[in-house]
Structure 1
Amino acid sequence: MPHFPKDTGFTSKDAPQKDVTVKNRRKRYLDLHPEYFSAELELADPLLYDRLVRRFQTPQEREAAGRANGFSGVLEADLMRSEAKLDAIANPDPNAMMAYSRGPNGEILAEDRDDIPPNKEEGERLWKWEMGLRFMRGNDPDFDYKTVDDNEEYDDETDKQDRYFEDEDPEWVVEDGDGGAPNLQGETGVQDF
């Protein structure tokens, strides 16, 4: 069960509903903003991007991406990718999607051939999946999650209806002829057998 600080106003019974609402809003944000998955997201996990997307790019696609990022952007991505590879070998993460080891010529390799997607489309699909999960968990340090988490515009219609009906107090519109409390008789809806 997540722990909420005292100043949020959430109790432990509110936590599951709040988590669901936040995750629904984040998912809706991703659906409405596919540009989140732009090439700039490469820097979030340069090794994963290299394994899933970059390996399938043609020289022309890499050149176009390089022009879009500029010389400093290309240098930054290469530097981050190199540092990440060295760090992955020095400090292996057992929870990482892919593990790395040194090859016979000193190159850095994925340990398992099954980690490598069979084609460009599958690689891009896996990249978006992993980055989407990262976003849903709130692990993008460069994103201001409050703009989504606290924004009711990202609620779908079901969430809005649920909140409407939860806020309503039930009223009975049954009256007797005198305008007083009715004397209800008949079936209660409870089966007694």
Structure 2
Amino acid sequence: MREEERSIRLRAKNRRKRYLEMHPEYFNDSSLELADPLLYDRLIRRFQTAAEREAEGRQKGFSGVMATDLWRAEAKKDALSHPSPQSLFTYNRGPQGQILEEDKDDKPMSKEEGKAWWADEMTQRFLRGDDADFNYKSLDANDKYDDPEEERDIQEAYFDSMEPDFDSDGEGSEKILTGETGIQDY
């Protein structure tokens, strides 16, 4: 039974990965910022220009900006009181009580690298099933998201396992073809 559970989990992860390949707009959703506001701050916002931040703020509206700021502040407080070993970044209190990020050597150096790290982290989060706003049950049970190459491999294995009988009469002896050649004379 253990092998069967592993197979089911693997199939679900493969379907989730295929879903992300078919729906790249998942990463454009502004609500992903709220999934991990601190990580978004470190990987995306720090590389944004003032004009890009202003445009993002206009798109969200005043209430959206306030909500993300509140989420970010709560996430910082939570990161201080409950540090996660899985987190890429850690935080400490400064001398005046401000929340400071612990400087690590492994941080993105460019906007493109930050976006790549963000996409990878959100992909891993999605594959683990950690997006609380997503209905994984409908995705995991949907064979529409099965990998077409996997299906092709199963078919090839099936046909490779069959004994070819097109060149024999089923008795093990070869058929001698006689008759028409298939060339048409007009």
The yes-or-no answer on 1:92 pairing with 2:77 is no
Residue in structure 1 matched with residue 97 of structure 2 by the alignment: 106
CA distance in 1, matches of 2:157, 2:4: 13
User: Structure 1 length normalisation: TM-score?
Assistant: 0.77
Give, in angstroms, the shift of residue 164 of structure 1.
Answer: 4.2
Give, in angstroms, the shift of residue 116 of structure 1.
Answer: 3.2
CA distance in 2, matches of 1:17, 1:165: 20
Structure 2 SS opposite 1:14: helix
Higher relative contact order, structure no. (Cα contacts within 8 Å, ≥ 6 residues apart): 2
Equivalent pair of 2:44/2:118 in contact (CA under 8 Å): yes
Equivalent pair of 1:26/1:135 in contact (CA under 8 Å): yes
Residue in structure 2 matched with residue 37 of structure 1 by the alignment: 27
Select which of 64, 68, 74 maps to 2:59: 68
Give, in angstroms, the shift of residue 20 of structure 1.
Answer: 2.4
Q: Which amino acid aligns with 1:61?
A: E
Residue in structure 2 matched with residue 26 of structure 1 by the alignment: 16
Structure 2 SS opposite 1:113: coil
CA distance in 2, matches of 1:174, 1:30: 43
**Which structure 1 residue ranges, 5 or more long, are not aligned?**
1-10, 185-193
Give, in angstroms, the shift of residue 147 of structure 1.
Answer: 2.9
Equivalent pair of 1:92/1:99 in contact (CA under 8 Å): yes
CA distance in 2, matches of 1:105, 1:120: 30
Equivalent pair of 1:100/1:111 in contact (CA under 8 Å): yes
Residue in structure 1 matched with residue 121 of structure 2 by the alignment: 130
Moved more, 126-135 or 145-154: 145-154
Runs (4+) of structure 1 moved beyond 3 Å? 162-168, 170-177
CA distance in 2, matches of 1:80, 1:103: 20
CA distance in 1, matches of 2:107, 2:93: 16
Structure 2 SS opposite 1:48: helix
Give, in angstroms, the shift of residue 37 of structure 1.
Answer: 1.1
Q: CA RMSD in A?
A: 2.5
**Which structure 2 residue ranges, 5 or more long, are not aligned?**
174-186
User: Structure 2 length normalisation: TM-score?
Assistant: 0.79
